[in-house]
Every structure is written in C-alpha cells, then in structure tokens.
Amino acid sequence: MSELRTAQLAALRGRKPALIVVDVQRSFADSPVVADAVAAIGKLVQVARTAGVTVAWVELGSDPRHPWHASQWLRAGDPEAPYGPEEPCVLGTSGAEWYGTEPAEGEIRVVKRGYSGFLGTSLESQLRAAGIEWVAVCGLTTECCVAATATDAFQLDWPVLLPVNGVAAYDKELHESALASLALNAAVLTDSDELADLWVTA
C-alpha cells in the first residue's frame, strides 16, 4: 500500500460514513452481466446496517408527465419525443422496483430524474443533517449514474470510496475506463472487505 493510500484511509477512521446505493432497480439490475455486482451490493448493505452505517438509496424515477427533454434529444434526436417501452425505471412500473436489495424503513431515500443522486434531490441536505463525513458509492452503472453521483459527492466536499466489486456496467472496457477516470478525479477505489474494516472502526 502506498503512503498516500495509507494516509487517505487513515484519515477516514473515526469519521462518520454513509453508503450511497445508486439505481439498483429492475430496469438496470435484472441482467446476468451485472449479477455479481448486485449480489455484492446486497451484502454491502447488510454489512453497513450491522456496523450502524447510514445507508442512502438513490433511485431513478422516469416520469412521462415530466420527460427529460435533453435525454430524449440525445437518444432520439427529438427533445419532445414521448417515452417509449424501453425507457428505464418509469414510475409505477416494474422497471422502477428495487432488485436484489431494497431500503429498510427509516433509511434515506431520494428519487432523481437524471444521472446524479444529488441533482434536484434532498440527498445532500439529508447527509449533512446526519453528520456524514465521508461516503462510499455503489450501484449501477459505473460510467453513468455511479460516476455522476460519486463526482458530485466529491465536489460537495465528501471523501469518496468506490468498492469496485459493488459497481458494474454492461461493457467491461467502459466499466474499467470509468473506474480509472474516477480514481484519477474523484474517488479512492476499494473493495467490500476493506470498506467493512473501515466501517467497523468508524
């Protein structure tokens, strides 16, 4: 372990952590490509709860009444295009349901319409109110909503850890590229075992 990494992890011990779970919903998680990560996320949630770590849930809620016009423009070329049958996590459909794990009563839960769990939600204020001093981010997918949420957490001045076995993408090269970018700019990469050790000493 490098001196820098040793210092980074040591600085987190004794400080209050949170685990942010991003978009582990049927539209994204019901795929064999990400099954290992979904299973790891479920175990991370249980370890966090046992250690008394705050768990915050971020979910996508696509609302046909208030479509994301920029996304429709990017994907369909028409900002006014209606949502089609492939639209992920449409409110009130099975695609929006949690998959493999789910929030417990009283845990932080926010619904977003874009990529970052912080954009247009109360996630920041709820974490501040809980006295959170650093966060770990897991979920789907590495290059998109995980990256956006982790980057915003970092820009909001929280140290960010990213458990590499608790995030996934549908393309291996894209996943690895996203991890490299996040490690350079916003997060320290870790795994479930190292994270659990840090939580126990928090």
Residue 8 lies in a domain: no
The pLDDT value given to residue 92: 95
Residue 5 lies in a domain: no
Residue 1 lies in a domain: no
How many structural domains does the chain have? 1
Residue 6 lies in a domain: no
Residue 2 lies in a domain: no
The pLDDT value given to residue 190: 98
Residue 59 lies in a domain: yes
Bridging pattern class, strands 188-190 and 160-163: parallel
Cα gap 80→70, rounded to integer Å: 9
Residue-wise DSSP of the chain: --HHHHHHHHTTTTSPEEEEEE--BHHHHSSGGGHHHHHHHHHHHHHHHHTT-EEEEEEE-B-TTS--HHHHHHHHS-TTPPP-TT-TTBTTSGGGSB-S--PPTTSEEEEESSS-TTTTSSHHHHHHHTT--EEEEEEE-IIIIIHHHHHHHHHTT--EEEEGGGEE-SSHHHHHHHHHHHHHHT-EEE-HHHHHHHHHT-
The pLDDT value given to residue 139: 98
Residue 97 lies in a domain: yes
Q: Is the confidence at residue 153, as pLDDT, over 80?
A: yes
Tell me the CATH number at 123: 3.40.50.850
Residue 86 lies in a domain: yes
State the chain's mean pLDDT as an integer. Answer: 97
Whole-model pTM: value is 0.97
* Domain extent for 28: 15-200
Confidence of residue 1 (pLDDT cuts 50, 70, 90): confident
pLDDT, tens only, 24-43: 999 999 999 999 999 999 99
Q: Is the confidence at residue 176, as pLDDT, over 80?
A: yes
Q: Is the confidence at residue 55, as pLDDT, over 80?
A: yes
